[in-house]
Amino acid sequence: MPIGAAGVQKRYQESRHSRSAKFTFPKKVTVPAVPNVKEAYAGFLPWSEFKKLIIDDSGTLVKRLFFDNVRDWQGYNDVNSGIKKTLESQDKNRFVLMNNGATIIARTVILSGDDFTVEDYQIVNGCQTSHVLYDHRDLLDDTVSIPVRLISTRDEEVTKAIIKATNWQTQITEEQLYALEEFPKTLELFFNSIQSERLYFERRSRQYESASVEKTRVITFDGMIKAFAGMFLNEPHRTTKNYKSVKAKLGKDIFAKNQRAEPYYAAALAAYRVEAAFRGKRIPSELKPARFQILLAIRILTAGYNMPLLTANKIEQYCTKIVAALNDVNAAETVIQNAVKVVHTATGGNTERDNLRSESFTEGVIKAAQQAYDDSNTTT
């Protein structure tokens, strides 16, 4: 049975994050039957057993277990510092009473008495706790127990509902919750597949904080939304003036099912080049409020205003023109400066913030950019 490109990507993702572990779970209770959940258990694991779930044979924390967390490791903020302080104290045996522990969702659970084997599992809540425990593993013994919920299900809607509910105890944004959907995960894999001009889509908060990557190449979830909306939805004025209305498009016009990934990468690459130009003072700082109009102008100048549907295969070719113009640093600089000229023209000499954030200004940018595009193609 054909499964399509999305299905292939999904199965690749599942195989990439697949892992099994064996541990003993004596202090548990069986959760009563729940629809679409094969089985579930709640209880406490001593450190010697919990570590079998999060540490591989080489002694390394298995970070791919947290792929379905709404956040990546957040570092030693106030909460994580508090966990650290408890583990370093003489009262570390109180940890089990002071921590919410971990929620584990596995596609397969094999039980023999108190001995468990879990396969294809993720720790969907407990990323922060697991990192702190791992960092202080040399201090730990079985006086430290971890509250654990173990759930066996293959139902994705059940999984997402559990992730959202178990993470609701700490403040999370709408964007962080939406990061659990399929399209953002697919987009992350798409970004990782491009090597020509490497960029990193930060689907989860602080995902690349500890990675040895150039931080300017990381585009945040918010940054991706704004760049895409400004460049491909023709709404650069709303990204700064009324961002709430842009976020309302999540799942509809932004990160929508069946959309192609190419426009998102093109928007991220354009944003990366433009921000570099601002840092290098090659774009006047007074145009900073118009940075998303500059992205829109880049799109029109390189590929024209009229574009295929964002779900159509033809959008790939359209975006190829944009990416090709931006891949080379020198060529990109020419494109950017041409876009800046268009934006300057549209300002009419008025660079006040309120003007640069208006819909009428965006309309002026579109008109000036399309005229420049038409003139260029007529000349050639």
Task: State pLDDT tens for residues 126-138.
Answer: 999 999 999 999 9
**pLDDT value of position 170:** 55
Model confidence at 166: pLDDT above 90? no
Model confidence at 262: pLDDT above 80? yes
Q: What is the mean pLDDT of residues 132-154?
A: 95
Q: Do the strands 20-24 and 115-125 form a parallel or antiparallel pair, or are they unpaired?
A: antiparallel
Model confidence at 104: pLDDT above 50? yes
Model confidence at 237: pLDDT above 90? yes
What is the average pLDDT score of the chain?
A: 89
Secondary structure (3-state) at 113: coil
Model confidence at 72: pLDDT above 90? no
- For residue 125, which amino acid is it? N
What pTM, to 2 d.p., does this model score? 0.70
pLDDT-wise least confident of 102-106, 147-151, 211-215: 211-215
Per-position b or e across 259-292, b if 16+ CB within 10 A of its CB = bbbbbbbbbbbbbbbbbbbbeeeebeeebebbbb
* Chain position carrying tokens 């299900």: 153
